[in-house]
Amino acid sequence: MTQVICKQAKLGAAKLVRASAVVAILVVGSGLATSTRAATACPSGLVWAERWEGDTRCVSVSERNLNRKNRGLPAVGTVAKCRPGLVWAEEWEGDTRCVTLSERSVNRAKRGLQ
């Protein structure tokens, strides 16, 4: 009796896996997957995140460039200048967030820069 129940459970799990695969193929093929949806433009000053191919969430240029760096891609786009009294953070190469001069000094020291 126990063997019959285990066999039925295995067959049920196999059918579920096959059904899940079919549903995934249908969703991707139908254009309902988030990576294939039509992207909208970001508000002024923001860009697509590009954390993965098709990531169209809106973020700052600095965050997008960090995402591209993590994917092995070069930084792109222009970055606005900081307000007077602020400088780029430079916590990593291409980090253009605006921080105080003392914060940037700490970040550069961590990276071994002067």
Q: pLDDT tens for residues 9-22?
A: 455 555 544 544 43
pLDDT in the model for residue 10: 54
Mean pLDDT, to the nearest integer, of 95-112? 91
pLDDT in the model for residue 31: 44
- CA–CA dist 65, 84 (Å, integer): 23
102 in Cβ contact with 67 (< 8 Å): no
**Is the pLDDT reported for residue 101 higher than 90?**
yes
Q: Quote the tokens at residue 15.
A: 């059918």
- CA–CA dist 68, 65 (Å, integer): 5
% of the chain residues with pLDDT over 70: 63
- Cut 0.95: pTM above it: no
Mean pLDDT, to the nearest integer, of 37-54? 83
